[in-house]
Chain A
Amino acid sequence: MSRVFTIARADARRAFRSRLVWGAIGLLGVLFLPSTGSSARPAVHPITEYLLILPADLRTFSLVVVAAVGYSAVVTERVTGTLRFVLGLPATRRDLVLGKLLSRVGIVVTALAVILVIANVLVYQGYGSPYLLPFWVMGGWMLAYVVVWSAVTVGYSAAFDSPYRTLGALVVTYVVFSFNFGVWSVVIRPLFALLFTGSLDPPSYDTLATAPLWLRVTERLNPLVDFWAAMRWSIEFVGPGTPTGGPLPQLLGSVVFLSFGLLPLVFGISRFERIDLGDAHAGSHIGEWIWRSLWRVRRAVTGSFSFPGALTQSSRIRRLAIADLRHTLQNWVVAGAVVVTVLLTGPALWGAIDASTVFTDTEVLTRIPLSFTLPVLVLGIAVGHNAIVGERTSGTSRFLLGLPVTRRELVVSKLLSRVSIVVATLLPLLLVAEALVVTRLGRPYPGAFLAWAGWTLLYAVVWTAMTVSCSAAVSSRYRSLAATVALYLVFARLWDELVLPAVAFVVTGQSAVDEFTQAANPPAWFQYADNLSPFVALETIQEALFEVTGYGTQQTTLDVSLFLYSVAALLLFVGGVVAIGTARFDRSDLR
């Protein structure tokens, strides 16, 4: 056991040097503390409410830290070969995993404890009392929350042989259990409802204690429900507030919640103890199987395939794209992203496309693209971010460019293949969405289908082109990710806060833009400046498509000149990003 501590100490020392760890902890403070401080006042939230709002935010933010600190714990030792160094010393594989868990839990708990102490000070300032007991009951549950998720993360890190698979498993686990994504409420809860009531429609409930017994039991299989219910009950038990129900359900729920951490850890250790280290004799990949199946179908349809004798530029690009398609299908990051896309989109579509007393059919139809925006972002990043920089870091760019291929042809082929993968992933989902429209709204609404499906594909193509271009422009995978995220932040999230105020200052002498962003008819200069953002231009194009096909809403109008301007701005933006990426790749030295 003492060697576990030796490993933990050495690992904590290294982890504290990691920029990723410090960045994640800093991000937690930056994201969480400002909003917490401003709302910690009785005038904004009574203390009973605030003690539940605080962990509601914190449980999401803290997961980012847990993931950043823990995902690479064991798997990176395998990837870098340091595992052989450690296991060459008197350490067992179990010692290593437990040591890693200990150090990573220590880091996460310390970081969260600091944040909680600051939050408690803010509570004292805002409410005139620190509410020590209820606050630290909540704090204790939050610390248990990150410990349990750390166990899940380190367990996955031991179970899988690449950091990306580890992250993928973590994301899928969170998406399945979290209510933010609807997999539990749209897929799993209806299955239990079918089992116990014969209907796929489960009853809704305000608090779990008032739900039917079968629902109370099955909901307890969701560890995040257990965590929340037990924490809420505990806070209310020590006051302020009144707990609903007795302690027994919370006790059982706590056992399920703790088991949630224990099971992946045990699974991870068990798998890690069985695997062979370092021998690259992996079995066949499902992507390879898919590829070979598709190729067989192609041969059956078109006969024996052969390339023409003389290579033209287009045939070279086509060959490169086909080779890249094959390699991308074998990539676990892409496979995981496709799974996550389906997991995110399916439940969202299931919940969004339904006859409603609140929304008209037109409103339901115009809201369909919303179900695709987040999945397309994830898919585009996963498929595109490593497209070209991956060739550079692995050295295969030297192999490719040693053949009669130019760098520009390589970029074009990558664009073609990666966009094809994204489109091929989305097409079945678009058809599923249309099937839901037909079955639930009673009509196919072909005009609306063309509008929302066409827009979704346009959005996917644009975003993937941007991620591939970022991949061409930089020299490392992390920089590619950073450039992609920066593009998104600047043009989607910070556009209203950073760029538009600067434009407004030039035009009006004042940087405030609220009056323009909230106005029904903002001035033309503002609209044209706003539509320089590709994301705003995409929104304008979406509204125009719905208007043209006869599905405009009361809030939208068709402004042809603005639409054409948005199309031009979007094309110029994407063309510009691709051109910059290609030019930088053209000039770069290959290692």
Chain B
Amino acid sequence: MPSIETHGLTKRYGNDVVAVDDLDLTVESGEVFGFLGPNGAGKSTTINMLLDFVRPTAGESRVLGHDPQTNPRAIRERTGVLPEATGFYDGDTARDHLQFATAMKRTTDDPDALLERVGLADAADRPVSGFSKGMRQRLGLAIALVGSPDLLILDEPLGGLDPSGARLLREVVRNERDRGAAVFFSSHIMDQVETVCDRVGIMHDGRLVAVDTIDALHAQSATPETVSLSVETAPQGVTDQLAAISGISEATAENGSIRITCPDPAAKTDAIARLDEEGVPILDIDTEASSLEEVFLTITDDSDTAGANRV
């Protein structure tokens, strides 16, 4: 059974604003799903609908097999949630919050162990009013982990975290996946999520414009791959020969290195074969794949173009 499933999920505000448009999405149990997109793409609204914070205008969703509107408690008992812009009780300590969360979830989790896990053990008895944004994020993460949930829903969990906090978050996400939990988290910081996600979905203007593994998205991307081939010497005219190969748009030679640009990633093997034929010894190969951010920009540009064409 999928952890999250939506069909035609739509949220409109008035007649003008379509925050989420006809979203079909499936997140399988045990996978880490990155929900990506720029600010205002509809990520948080989607999560708010999954958490029953916001009611959909149309469509349906199921979380852990339950409808969020009709059975929110059943979902929240098995879900750990870190909502974006969540507030905490300023007068309460971090331990107070975790004790309340464990009481609500009817678990016997040790608040101190959870605080230790997110690096807040030293601040356990300090009122939350004195916490920095990053500390609040860590506290929210600790609360989300209460009760070893089957599903973690984290809305912009990287916001406010310093590099060590971001690394901690990635560790927690990997550990939770290894435990068997599904993790669904949103982010607009692409390079931070690339290393932990099994699959990503990219939202743009309320629409889901791509869903796949990161490798597959790279392959789909129109952003050309660049390959640097270190050689002892680059014979005269070899760059012209390489540039003539189908799937290669450009080839240059400089300082013992041949650099080729391949709109078609498969063309790089043809290039290597041609150099072998020419008797050019290759000392090293370095591939510069497009970043997820470039993939995202390419996809969203395509999406915009398609939208403009529809108009």
Chain A contact residues, CB within 8 Å of chain B: 3, 6-7, 10, 14, 17, 77, 80-92, 95, 274, 276-279, 281, 283
Distance, CA A10 to CA B98, complexed state (A) = 12
How far does the alpha carbon of A81 sit from the alpha carbon of B106 in the complex, in Å? Answer: 23
- Closest residue on chain B to residue A282 by CB atoms: B13
Bound complex: CA A545 to CA B85 (Å): 57
Residues of B within 8 A of A91 (CB): 73, 76, 104
For A77, list chain B residues within 8 Å (CB): 87
- A84 in contact with B85 given A91-B76, A281-B17 (CB within 8 Å): yes
Task: Find chain A residues with CB under 8 A from B146 CB.
Answer: 89
Within 63-112 of B, Cβ neighbours of A (below 8 Å) are at 72-73, 76-77, 81-83, 85-89, 91-92, 97, 100-101, 103-106
The answer to whether B53 and A87 touch across the interface, beta carbons within 8 angstroms, is: yes
Chain A residues near B100: list those with CB within 8 A.
Answer: 6, 10, 89
Contact of B87 among A7, A84, A89, A90 (CB under 8 A): A84
User: Known interface pairs A14-B89, A278-B48, A279-B48. Does A90 touch B14 (Cβ–Cβ under 8 Å)?
Assistant: no
Given A87-B52, A90-B77, A281-B17, 18 extra CB contacts under 8 A: A6-B103, A7-B104, A10-B100, A81-B87, A82-B88, A82-B89, A84-B86, A85-B83, A85-B87, A88-B82, A88-B143, A88-B144, A90-B105, A90-B106, A276-B48, A276-B54, A277-B53, A281-B19
B77/A88 in contact, CB under 8 A: no
The 10 tightest CB contacts between A and B, nearest first, are A81-B87, A88-B81, A281-B13, A84-B83, A89-B104, A80-B87, A82-B87, A90-B76, A276-B54, A84-B86
Given known A-B contacts A17-B91, A92-B73, A85 and B143 have beta carbons under 8 A apart: yes
Tell me if B55 is interfacial: C-beta within 8 Å of chain A.
yes
**Cα distance, A571 to B17, chains bound together (Å):** 52
Would you call B48 and A277 a contact (CB within 8 A)? yes
Q: Once the chains are docked, how many angstroms separate the CA of A14 from the CA of B91?
A: 8
The reply to whether the CB of B51 lies closer than 8 angstroms to some CB of chain A is yes
Measured CB to CB, the closest approach of chain A to B18, in angstroms, equals 11
Q: Which residues of A contact B83 (CB under 8 A)?
A: 84-85, 88
* Cα-based distance from A83 to B52 in the complex (angstroms): 12
Does B45 count as interface, using CB distance less than 8 angstroms? yes
A89 to chain B: closest residue by CB: B104
Bound CA–CA A7/B101 (angstroms): 10
The secondary-structure label for the interface of chain B is: mixed
Residue among A3, A81, A83, A281 with the highest chain B CB neighbour number at 10 A: A281
- Chain A residues closer than 8 Å to B19, beta-carbon distance: 279, 281
Chain A contacts of B14 at CB under 8 A?
281, 283
For A90, the chain B residues whose CB sits under 8 A away are 73, 76-77, 104-106
The closest CB in chain B to the CB of A280 belongs to: B13
In the complex, what residues of A have CB within 8 A of residue B85's CB? 81, 84, 278
Q: Which single residue of chain A is at the shortest CB-CB distance from B52?
A: A87
Report which of B13, B86, B92, B101 forms a contact with A81, defined as CB distance below 8 A. Answer: B86
- 16 A–B contacts, CB within 8 A, in A order: A17-B91, A81-B87, A82-B89, A84-B86, A84-B87, A85-B97, A88-B82, A89-B81, A89-B104, A89-B146, A90-B105, A90-B106, A91-B104, A278-B54, A278-B85, A279-B45
In the docked arrangement, what's the CA distance between A86 and B87, Å?
9
A7 to B53, alpha carbons, bound, how many Å? 18
From known contacts A91-B76, A276-B53, A279-B54, infer whether A85 and B105 are also in contact, taking CB-CB under 8 Å: no
| B106 / chain A contacts, CB cutoff of 8 Å | 90
The 8 Å CB contact of A274, one of B55, B73, B77, B103, is: B55
Distance A278 CA – B19 CA, assembled complex (angstroms): 14
What is the CB-to-nearest-CB distance from A119 to chain B, in angstroms, rounded to a whole number? 32
Residue of A nearest to B69 (CB): A273
A85, A274, A279: the one within 8 Å of B86 (CB): A85
Q: Which residues of B are found within 8 Å of A80, using beta-carbon distances?
A: 87
Pair A84/B53 contact, Cβ less than 8 Å: yes
- The CA-CA distance from A189 to B46 in the complex, in Å, is 51
A-contacting residues, B6-26, CB 8 Å? 13-14, 17, 19
Cα(A89)–Cα(B104), bound, Å? 7
**What are the residues of chain B within 8 A of A95 when measuring CB–CB?**
73
Specify which chain B residues have a CB less than 8 angstroms from the CB of A83 in the assembled complex.
87
Report B-chain residues with C-beta under 8 Å of the C-beta of A7. Answer: 104
Q: Separation in Å of the A333 CB from the closest CB of chain B?
A: 22
Task: Determine the distance from Cα of A6 to Cα of B102 in the docked complex, in whole angstroms.
Answer: 10
Q: How distant is the Cα of A206 from the Cα of B73 in the complex, in angstroms?
A: 54
Name the residue among A77, A83, A90 with the largest chain B CB count within 10 angstroms: A90
- Point out which of B55, B72, B86 has the most chain A C-beta atoms below 10 A from its C-beta: B86
Closest-CB distance, A81 to chain B (whole angstroms)? 3
A283 to B15, CA, bound (A): 11
Q: How far is the CA of A86 from the CA of B97 in the complex (A)?
A: 10
A95 CA to B100 CA, complexed, in Å: 14
For the complex, give the distance between the alpha carbons of A392 and B69 in Å: 40
Chain B contacts with A in 205-252, Cβ cutoff 8 A = none
Chain A residues closer than 8 Å to B88, beta-carbon distance = 82, 85
Chain A residues near B92 (CB-CB < 8 A): 14
C-alpha gap A341/B72 in the complex (Å): 43
Residue numbers in B under 8 Å from A276 (CB-CB): 48, 53-55
List residues of chain B with CB within 8 A of the CB of A86.
Answer: 104
